[in-house]
Structure 1
């Protein structure tokens, strides 16, 4: 999911987002899994308590209070390693699949099952491409 909102968000989605933020905030402040689960159950109970509240002024006050408490309790937001702004984001280059085509036959001989399966997948993909889009080599000549 993108971090930029490109469409209007309804109230239910706002509550779900707030619930996830509350869980993440609690996760950053606890070290043990059982403590986290206990806190998650308490957070869920708090959200369930006001689930059927119809007074939107009270709901907005509760949401503002929860956002304020999240802001005050988070010492530092959790950063996942391979996500944007994470410590390992973009650290490793992902080689394109065509690199395997350049392997020497002796290197391919070390993994015969993998390369046999890969050749079948390449053949199936080429057949699908020609069936879907036609033979592009014949059109270009």
Structure 2
């Protein structure tokens, strides 16, 4: 992901680069203690340059950081399972609406107002369907 200078401040671009670098380290190191050690080294590298006052130097450091990240990127980025493009993304399919109709009456009794309104809306929906699609 390349930064868009017009949309983000320099600070936001550096923060984005830092986050991408840490995520890249997560992909390279699967053992937590090794990852944390490498993350601390990465943080030290960022902290070393945080007091640079010259804007041109800061821009050049940012460009070099993105270039280094590009060259050292992992070939298979680790993604959390439930995030988009993760291995378990949208695997928990929500149950269909009609499944609630098969609840036991004792279960329905726990939510009387919901099921009263639900029955009313079902009757309205059936009436609307008959108006639209009946052949009379």
TM over 0.5: yes
Alignment partner of 1:10 is 2:9: yes
Name the CA shift for 1:96/1:13 in 2 (closer, same or farther; >3 Å): farther
| CA shift for structure 1 position 101 | 5.5
Mapped partners of 2:113, 2:87: distance in 1:
35
Alignment partner of 1:48 is 2:47: yes
**Residues 4-56 of structure 1: CA deviation (Å, up to 9, x unaligned):** x8x82111111111110010111111121111111111111111111111112
Tell me the equivalent position of 1:69: 68
Q: Alignment length, in residue pairs?
A: 112
Mapped partners of 2:112, 2:64: distance in 1:
58
CA-based RMSD of the aligned residues comes to: 3.0
Unaligned runs of 5+ in 1: 110-114, 127-141
> Could you say what secondary structure the match of 1:31 adopts?
coil
TM-score when scaled to structure 1? 0.64
TM-score when scaled to structure 2? 0.66
Tell me the equivalent position of 2:87: 87
Bigger shift: 94-103 or 13-22? 94-103
| CA shift for structure 1 position 95 | 2.6
Tell me the equivalent position of 2:121: none
| CA shift for structure 1 position 97 | 7.3
Mapped partners of 2:87, 2:25: distance in 1:
21
Mapped partners of 2:79, 2:50: distance in 1:
30
Name the CA shift for 1:83/1:77 in 2 (closer, same or farther; >3 Å): same
State which structure, 1 or 2, has the greater radius of gyration over its C-alpha atoms: 2
Mapped partners of 1:121, 1:46: distance in 2:
60
Name the CA shift for 1:22/1:120 in 2 (closer, same or farther; >3 Å): farther
